[in-house]
């Protein structure tokens, strides 16, 4: 449903509403926005469970702790900074934004003013000339620590010490300044190389009584006020008593897992493919004094299968996939592990509805559904769902419509485990669910967007080696899938 078609009195406090396109619901006042979001959740997920009233913000403005701006010339050759207009690379100048942190907006204005005196020019994507591409500002709302990231098109930063001194003089609240070098023709904001110009190169923030280290490329929730509510809701749904073993699947830097470890879990296991994120999660646990949480670099789906095969059990699984949702490989592994409860946090009710169809067809029941407004004035909705296993003695017949679950006939011929076992038996190679999914996609077997997709745009995934790709291809041929 298009929110712009809703009948509502004009309510556009931001003059850039139509040019920017970032806040799709500004034609409605905030109570109307919450009503619209509640209707969407009920429409998409109401077949599984009645949604509780959405939890909105008391002060739905200036909630974003991460602000990034692109820099460019305007028609009069003045330096401007702001956001790209929707579906273009044309920069819409932004002096202040009603959703962005006000400290960050003031820092952006100062940098614009300093650029001429330091002979800095905006980067031109077409010619590849110029210096400053973007500026990223992150602030810890609980600690008031501020990081400024200067994204440049070249590693050479003239007068960097003097620039840092001038910026710190104007904004003593800044606690670290980092140069990120992005010299590639790409739509990604951050490059892969970084130099710490001043300070430690990271900031810290406190969330759910836990301390988190945030680096320029770390994934960290944008709205810390609502994140507290979101995570406390998820932990309440988990029903922790101090004895449970909790699995935080694809845990990132450990936010929800560490919060659970501190607020009632007996033991937390965090699993994540990104090695840098695992390192940060361990550091965050140490900084928070948490000893009942461990973090492993592994594929969460395979880890759950291994747990089930070894006879180990897990009481609660937290899953928080990206907007694309989960995939068949992960969901089938989850069903095989069969925890007592699953807490599914989603930033996209449409893909969550698809995944819930799979889980409810495999013996799970949705017990509770709580929407949370994480991004006021936008059309994004966050939801927390609690699932538990049905009583198998009372529910023994399950009808599964593969077409409804977006599975092709080829996918139904062999499970991920059967493909893994075939490859191991015939070649001695161990292959991951991720590698199998990559090869299936290569041969046009329809896959949902993989759950292993990283939340950070700069994170990398391992690619299937040629010898394993050949072995998986042979297995697909054996099962008649290609």
For residue 178, give the nearest of 163, 192, 194 by alpha carbon.
194
d(CA 387, CA 454): 24
d(CA 386, CA 51): 11
Cβ of 162: how many Cβ atoms within 10 Å?
Answer: 12
**172: CB partners within 8 A, 6+ apart:** none
Task: State the pLDDT at residue 466.
Answer: 84
- Tell me if residue 208 is catalytic: no
Task: State the pLDDT at residue 432.
Answer: 84
SS3 442: helix
In order, the DSSP letters of 225-266 are HHHHHHHHHHHHHHT--S--EEEEET-TTTHHHHHHHHTT-S
pLDDT by residue, tens only, the chain of 482 residues: 445 444 344 455 777 777 777 788 888 899 999 999 999 999 999 999 999 999 999 999 999 999 999 999 988 889 999 888 776 778 888 888 889 999 999 999 999 999 999 999 999 888 889 999 999 999 999 999 999 999 999 999 999 999 999 999 999 999 999 999 998 888 789 998 999 999 999 999 999 999 999 999 888 889 999 999 999 999 999 999 999 999 999 898 899 999 999 998 999 999 998 888 898 899 999 999 999 999 999 988 888 888 888 888 899 999 998 888 888 888 998 999 999 999 999 999 999 999 999 999 999 999 999 999 999 999 999 999 999 987 645 444 444 443 444 444 444 467 787 788 788 877 878 888 888 888 888 877 755 544 445 555 555 567 888 888 888 888 888 877 88
Catalytic residue among 210, 251, 347, 464: 347
Cβ of 292: how many Cβ atoms within 10 Å?
Answer: 15
Task: State the pLDDT at residue 19.
Answer: 74
Task: State the pLDDT at residue 455.
Answer: 53
Domains and CATH numbers, the chain: 30-58+223-389 (3.40.50.150), 66-207 (2.40.50.1070), 411-478 (no CATH)
């Amino acid at each position: 449903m298009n929110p712009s078609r809703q009948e509502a009195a004009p309510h556009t406090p931001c003059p850039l509403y139509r040019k920017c396109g970032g806040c799709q619901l500004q034609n409605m006042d905030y109570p109307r926005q919450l009503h619209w979001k509640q209707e969407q959740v009920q429409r998409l997920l109401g077949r599984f469970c009645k949604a509780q009233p959405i939890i909105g913000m008391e002060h739905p403005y200036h909630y974003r702790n991460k602000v990034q701006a692109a820099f460019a010339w305007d028609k009069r050759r003045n330096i401007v900074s702001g956001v790209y207009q929707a579906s273009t690379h044309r920069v819409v100048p932004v002096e202040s934004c009603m959703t962005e942190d006000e400290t960050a907006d003031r820092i952006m204005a100062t940098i614009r003013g300093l650029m001429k005196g330091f002979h800095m020019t905006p980067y031109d994507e077409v010619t590849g000339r110029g210096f400053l591409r973007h500026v990223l500002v992150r602030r810890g709302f609980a600690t008031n620590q501020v990081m400024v990231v200067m994204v440049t098109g070249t590693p050479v930063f003239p007068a960097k010490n003097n620039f840092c001194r001038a910026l710190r003089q104007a904004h003593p609240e800044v606690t670290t300044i980092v140069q990120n070098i992005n010299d590639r023709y790409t739509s990604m904001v951050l490059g892969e190389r970084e130099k710490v110009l001043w300070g430690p190169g990271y900031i810290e923030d406190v969330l759910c009584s836990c301390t988190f280290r945030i680096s320029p490329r770390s994934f960290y929730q944008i709205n810390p006020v609502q994140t507290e509510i979101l995570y406390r809701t998820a932990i309440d749904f988990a029903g922790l008593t101090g004895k449970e073993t909790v699995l935080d699947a694809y845990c990132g830097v450990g936010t929800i897992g560490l919060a659970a470890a501190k607020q009632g879990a007996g033991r937390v296991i965090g699993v994540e493919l990104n090695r840098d994120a695992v390192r940060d999660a361990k550091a965050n646990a140490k900084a928070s004094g948490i000893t009942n949480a461990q973090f492993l670099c592994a594929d969460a789906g395979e880890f759950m299968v291994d747990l089930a095969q070894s006879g180990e059990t897990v009481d609660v699984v937290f899953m928080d996939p990206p907007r694309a949702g989960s995939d068949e490989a992960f969901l089938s592994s989850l069903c095989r592990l069969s925890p007592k409860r699953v807490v599914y946090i989603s930033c996209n009710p449409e893909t969550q509805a698809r995944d819930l169809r799979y889980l409810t067809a495999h013996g799970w029941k949705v017990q509770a559904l709580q929407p949370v407004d994480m991004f006021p004035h936008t059309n994004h909705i966050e939801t927390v769902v609690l699932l538990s296993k049905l009583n198998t003695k009372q529910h023994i017949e399950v009808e599964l419509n593969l077409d409804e679950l977006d599975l092709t006939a080829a996918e139904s011929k062999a499970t991920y485990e059967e493909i893994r076992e075939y490859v191991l038996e015939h070649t001695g190679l161990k292959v991951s669910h991720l590698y199998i999914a990559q090869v299936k996609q290569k041969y046009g077997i329809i896959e949902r967007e993989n759950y292993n997709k990283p939340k950070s745009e700069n994170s990398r995934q391992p690619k299937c080696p040629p010898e394993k790709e050949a072995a998986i291809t042979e297995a697909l041929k054996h099962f008649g899938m290609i």
